[in-house]
Amino acid sequence: MVRGFNAELKRVLVFATSGIFFGFINGHMSWTLIAACALYICGLLWQIRRLDLWLAQPNKQPPDASGIWGTIFDNIYRLQKKQRKEKRQLKTVINRVQETTSALRDGVILVDSHGNIDWWNRAASGLLGFQSSDQGHALINYLRHPEFIDYFESGDYKTPLDLPSPRFQSKHLQYQITAFGRRERLVVVRDVTQIHQLENLRRDFVANVSHELRTPLTVIRGYLETLADSDSMPEKWQKPFSQMLYQSERMGQLVEDLISLSQLETNSDPQPQLAVELVTLLQSIRLDALELSGSKQQQIIIHSASEVTLTGCEKSLRSAFSNLMFNAVKYTPNNSRIDVTVQNNKSGIYVSVQDNGDGFDRKHIPRLTERFYRVDDHRNSSAGGTGLGLAIAKHALLRHDAELKIDSQLGQGSCFSCTFPLTREFKSI
Ligand code: ADP
């Protein structure tokens, strides 16, 4: 059969010339032409009807036709075949993705732009107890923990959130959300019970060992102090005794730091929330820092427009800022300058301890608040620290809703800062 637009044009010409020819013979030119047009239009309508019937049964072969209609049927049929093939491929991909995510041990939940559950895998059913009737319902109706609701609605998903399981009391789950598409979200739920238990075990172990070491160490130190002070001490024993005393004092400090750190980490020691005059506190720490500085002749300057009163625990704030100021004294050379700044501005109460010492490479920053991490192990342990100062500062500040920020440049100095939220400002009634 001849197909295409040219064949259709030829057909129109045949109708027109036949109309003119018969009109000329029968003497009714216009009526014959109208009849020829009507015949052509009837042909068009018949083809439209065939197209309609065929489109209603998409799996059937296209009807046979000549002219432009043959081309139209062929093109639609080709498009249908292409679309069917693409659909099959897409379905295979979706099935494979669903199979793989179903096989995952972590729960996966797809949440639509309205916060409703769209799809979840088998592990999510096991961890959270979802049933097929839960599809289309708001996720926060099932995960009602206020911290999860805040996390889910905040849009800030940089760090995962650990919470007790809403289904099993003994389990601990970690939620990590990834936003995609048009405000859709993918929630990955991981069972972290074992990690949690190990972490608790580690904390308890450190806390218990530190407590157990405290008493024997105090006794040893007491005897060493008495013996070191005794006049009857032979001269050749004086040096070893003073070294033993120095090392036992270091050990004592280490034990005290480990105890404070584990108390801060475990929340085991509920801290009193009282009014703390921050600038006064920093001034008193400055005096201790100047004493530590001794002959190093360092300048410690406090910059503050006015007193700022915080609601918090004076003991842990003292411990945080003492560690920062004492570090600045320990790790900067003679005659260096340490600036302590307090600013009460719109975004919160900003405090920084900046020095113009040697600083350190920025690559150390992410690990600096880890326990016992030191930039230069040999040099810094001889500076007398326990390696826990910044870890204590970080946790003490976290308990006051402030995050310890560190910046440093080799040869330029370091800056340790934090910002307390305005809600921490003490308001007297
Ligand atoms: P340490 O007991 O060793 O001082 P910290 O946790 O307080 O333990 O500090 C960790 C490390 O950070 C230090 O060993 C030191 O290398 C580095 N550090 C801390 N503060 C400063 C500072 N102001 N300048 C240079 N290095 C610093």
Digit-coded pLDDT (tens) for 306-364: 999 999 999 999 999 999 999 999 999 999 999 999 999 999 999 999 999 999 999 99
Q: Ligand 1 centre from 284 Cα, in Å?
A: 21
Residue 378: pLDDT over 90? no
Residue 417: pLDDT over 70? yes
The response to whether residue 107 sits with its C-beta less than 6 Å from ligand 1 reads no
Listed residue (424, 298, 420, 421) closest to 354, CA to CA? 298
Which residue's C-alpha comes closest to atom 27 of ligand 1?
Answer: 331
Mean pLDDT of all residues in 154-178: 93
**How much of the chain exceeds pLDDT 90, in percent?**
72
Mean pLDDT of all residues in 85-110: 91
Mean pLDDT of all residues in 242-267: 90
Residue 142: pLDDT over 80? yes
Long-range pairs for 275-278: beta carbons < 8 A, 24 or more residues apart: 275/309, 275/310, 275/311, 275/426, 275/428, 276/309, 276/310, 276/311, 276/312, 276/313, 276/314, 276/317, 276/426, 277/307, 277/308, 277/309, 278/307, 278/308, 278/309, 278/310, 278/317, 278/342, 278/349, 278/351
pLDDT band per the 50, 70, 90 thresholds, residue 141: very high
Which neighbouring-strand residues pair with 422? none
The response to whether residue 19 sits with its C-beta less than 6 Å from ligand 1 reads no
Residue 407: pLDDT over 80? yes
Residue 268: pLDDT over 80? no
pLDDT at position 383? 65
pLDDT band per the 50, 70, 90 thresholds, residue 377: low
Q: Ligand 1 centre from 129 Cα, in Å?
A: 48
Report the chain's mean pLDDT, rounded to a whole number: 91
Which residue's C-alpha comes closest to atom 13 of ligand 1?
Answer: 374
Q: Ligand 1 centre from 107 Cα, in Å?
A: 41
pLDDT at position 229? 83
pLDDT at position 254? 93
pLDDT band per the 50, 70, 90 thresholds, residue 235: confident
**Residue listed under structure tokens 């793989």:** 100
The response to whether residue 413 sits with its C-beta less than 6 Å from ligand 1 reads no
Mean pLDDT of all residues in 386-399: 94
Mean pLDDT of all residues in 244-249: 92
Which residue's C-alpha comes closest to atom 11 of ligand 1?
Answer: 374
pLDDT band per the 50, 70, 90 thresholds, residue 429: low
- Beta carbons of 203 and 262 less than 8 angstroms apart: yes
- Beta carbons of 355 and 338 less than 8 angstroms apart: yes
Which residue's C-alpha comes closest to atom 5 of ligand 1?
Answer: 389
Q: Which atom of ligand 1 is found nearest the CA of 390?
A: 6
The response to whether residue 355 sits with its C-beta less than 6 Å from ligand 1 reads yes
The response to whether residue 414 sits with its C-beta less than 6 Å from ligand 1 reads yes
Q: Ligand 1 centre from 374 Cα, in Å?
A: 6
The response to whether residue 368 sits with its C-beta less than 6 Å from ligand 1 reads yes
Residue 111: pLDDT over 60? yes
Q: Ligand 1 centre from 324 Cα, in Å?
A: 8
Residue 379: pLDDT over 60? no
pLDDT band per the 50, 70, 90 thresholds, residue 135: very high
Mean pLDDT of all residues in 138-147: 94
Mean pLDDT of all residues in 10-20: 91
The response to whether residue 386 sits with its C-beta less than 6 Å from ligand 1 reads yes
pLDDT at position 128? 93
Contacts of 101 (CB under 8 A, 6+ apart): 108, 121
The Cα–Cα gap between 347 and 328 comes to: 26
Of 314-318, 377-381, 420-424, minimum mean pLDDT range? 377-381
Angle (nearest 5°) at CA 313 between 368 and 291? 65
Which residue's C-alpha comes closest to atom 23 of ligand 1?
Answer: 328
